[in-house]
C-alpha cells in the first residue's frame, strides 16, 4: 500500500536526512514542497530509477502565504504522513516577509498552519502529522546559547516580532525562534485534543550543528556552526546529528515507534515536558483564530 508523505524542508539538514531514511521503505511516495524547483530537481535526480519516480516536487515558498495557498490547492492525492520540518533562524536582526510578517513566526509556524488547513481534506483519518520543536522554546534548556524560552505574547505582536525591549536586535530574533518552536509544540497538542483518529506530535531533534540553519548568521557564526560546533558537540549533552535524529523521526512517522497523539518527543525517542503557557488551550485558540485569517486571505 502506497503511503504519501509530505515533508517540508527536504533540501537540507534534518529534512534531507529524513527523506533518505523514508525512501528505504518501498511503499513511500514523497511529496516535497521546495522553494527552489531547480534544487528540488537536483535532489530528485540524486535518487535513481524507480526511486526517482517516488518523488513529486511542488514549488512552495513558506515565506509567501500566497505561494503556500497556490501550492496547497494544486495537491489532490490523499496524504498519510505530514512532517512540518522547514525552519529558519535569523540571528542578526528582525526580517519581514513579503506579507509584512516577522519571518521566523511566518515560516516556522504560520505558513505550516495555513498549509495544514488547506490540505486538511486530503489528510487520511489514520494519518500522522508532526511539527519540529526545539529546546530553545524552554526557558531552562538553551539559556547558555542566549535563548530565554518562548514568549507567549499575543499573535499580533508575534507577527510583528515585537518582543519586549528587544525590537530588531539579535535577541529579538532568538526570542522569535524559540517562540515559533513553542507554537509548533502547542499546535500539535491543541489539534491532538480535538476529536480525531489522526496522530499529532512534535519532535525535538536536538542540537544538530552543521545544518543550513545558520545561513542568515554572521560569517563568524556560520563558520563556527559548520566547522567548530560539529566537533565540540560530540562532547556535549543533548546534541545529535541530522542522520541520528532523522532515524528516530522516520520510525515515528512509519509508526514503528509508537507515539500517543499530542506527544512531544526528542531524538532519543524519550517523552519531553514542553514549556507551555498557563492558559494553554485558550492561547492555542487565539493563535488559531489569528492564523485562520490567512488561510483564505
- Cβ-contact 189, 264 below 8 angstroms: yes
Which set of grid coordinates corresponds to residue 205?
531533534
Pick from 72, 81, 87, 102 the residue near ligand NAP by CB under 6 A.
Answer: 87
Walk across the sheet containing 264-266 and list its strands. Answer: 55-59, 28-34, 3-7, 79-84, 123-132, 199-204, 264-266
- Cβ-contact 31, 58 below 8 angstroms: yes
- The site map against ligand NAP for 98-127 (x = CB under 6 A) is ---------x--------------------
- Which residue's CB is nearer to ligand NAP, number 225 or number 283? 225
Q: How far apart are CA 204 and CA 224, in angstroms?
A: 22
9: burial class by Cβ within 10 Å (0-12, 13-18, 19+)? buried
Pick from 11, 91, 94, 104 the residue near ligand NAP by CB under 6 A.
Answer: 11
H or E stretch covering 3: strand 3-7
Name which of 116, 87, 83 is nearest 103 in CA terms.
87
Pick from 32, 62, 110, 186 the residue near ligand NAP by CB under 6 A.
Answer: 62
Strand-pair partners of 3:
28
Radius of gyration over alpha carbons of the chain, in Å? 18
| Candidate ranges 11-19, 162-170, 257-265, 273-281; the one touching ligand NAP (CB under 6 A) | 11-19
Compute the least distance from the CB of residue 247 to ligand NAP, in Å. 14
Virtual torsion, Cα 31, 124, 295, 284, nearest 10 deg: -120
Compute the least distance from the CB of residue 67 to ligand NAP, in Å. 8
Compute the least distance from the CB of residue 48 to ligand NAP, in Å. 22
Q: How many CA atoms lie within 13 A of 103 on its CB side?
A: 20
Pick from 14, 30, 82, 172 the residue near ligand NAP by CB under 6 A.
Answer: 14
Pick from 21, 63, 91, 250 the residue near ligand NAP by CB under 6 A.
Answer: 63
Q: Which of residues 131-170 bind ligand NAP (CB under 6 A)?
A: 132, 134
Contact between 211 and ligand NAP per CB under 6 A: yes
Q: Which of residues 172-191 bind ligand NAP (CB under 6 A)?
A: none
* Total residues at interface with ligand NAP (CB under 6 A): 26
Contact between 21 and ligand NAP per CB under 6 A: no
Q: β-pairing, 264-266 with 123-132?
A: unpaired
Residue nearest to ligand NAP (CB): 13
Contact between 208 and ligand NAP per CB under 6 A: yes
- Cβ-contact 189, 276 below 8 angstroms: yes
- Coil, helix or strand at residue 260: coil
- Which residue's CB is nearer to ligand NAP, number 163 or number 177? 177
Name which of 170, 180, 45, 157 is nearest 109 in CA terms.
180
- Which residue's CB is nearer to ligand NAP, number 86 or number 253? 86
Q: How many CB atoms lie within 10 A of CB 154?
A: 13
Compute the least distance from the CB of residue 125 to ligand NAP, in Å. 27
- Which residue's CB is nearer to ligand NAP, number 207 or number 254? 207
**Residues in contact with ligand NAP by the rule CB under 6 A:** 9-15, 35-36, 61-63, 85-88, 107, 132, 134, 205, 207-208, 211-213, 242
Amino acid at each position: 500500500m502506497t503511503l504519501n508523505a509530505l515533508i517540508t524542508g527536504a533540501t537540507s539538514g534534518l529534512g534531507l536526512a529524513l527523506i533518505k531514511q523514508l525512501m528505504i521503505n518501498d511503499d513511500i511516495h514523497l511529496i516535497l514542497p521546495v522553494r527552489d524547483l531547480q534544487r528540488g530537481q537536483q535532489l530528485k535526480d540524486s535518487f535513481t530509477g524507480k526511486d526517482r519516480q517516488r518523488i513529486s516536487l511542488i514549488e512552495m515558498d513558506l515565506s509567501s502565504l500566497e505561494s503556500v495557498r497556490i501550492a496547497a490547492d494544486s495537491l489532490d492525492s490523499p496524504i498519510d504522513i505530514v512532517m512540518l520540518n522547514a525552519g529558519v533562524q535569523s540571528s542578526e536582526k528582525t526580517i519581514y516577509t513579503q506579507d509584512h510578517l516577522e519571518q521566523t513566526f511566518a515560516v516556522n509556524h504560520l505558513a505550516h498552519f495555513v498549509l495544514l488547513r488547506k490540505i486538511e481534506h486530503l489528510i487520511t483519518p489514520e494519518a500522522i502529522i508532526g511539527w519540529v520543536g526545539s529546546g530553545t522554546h524552554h526557558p531552562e534548556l538553551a539559556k547558555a546559547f542566549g535563548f530565554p524560552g518562548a514568549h507567549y505574547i499575543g499573535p499580533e505582536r508575534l507577527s510583528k516580532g515585537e518582543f519586549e525591549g528587544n525590537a530588531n536586535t539579535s535577541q529579538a530574533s532568538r526570542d522569535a525562534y524559540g517562540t515559533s518552536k513553542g507554537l509548533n509544540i502547542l499546535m500539535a497538542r491543541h489539534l491532538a485534543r480535538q476529536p480525531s483518529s489522526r496522530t499529532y506530535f512534535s519532535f525535538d531533534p536536538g542540537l544538530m550543528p552543521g545544518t543550513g540553519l545558520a545561513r542568515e548568521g554572521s560569517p563568524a557564526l556560520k563558520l563556527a556552526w559548520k566547522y567548530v560546533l560539529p566537533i565540540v558537540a560530540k562532547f556535549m549533552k543533548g546534541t545529535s546529528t541530522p542522520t541520528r535524529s532523522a532515524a528516530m523521526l522516520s520510525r515515528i512517522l512509519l509508526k514503528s515507534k509508537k507515539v500517543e497523539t499530542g506527544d512531544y518527543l526528542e531524538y532519543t525517542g524519550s517523552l519531553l515536558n514542553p514549556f507551555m503557557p498557563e492558559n494553554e488551550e485558550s492561547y492555542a485558540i487565539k493563535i488559531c483564530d489569528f492564523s485562520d485569517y490567512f488561510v483564505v486571505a
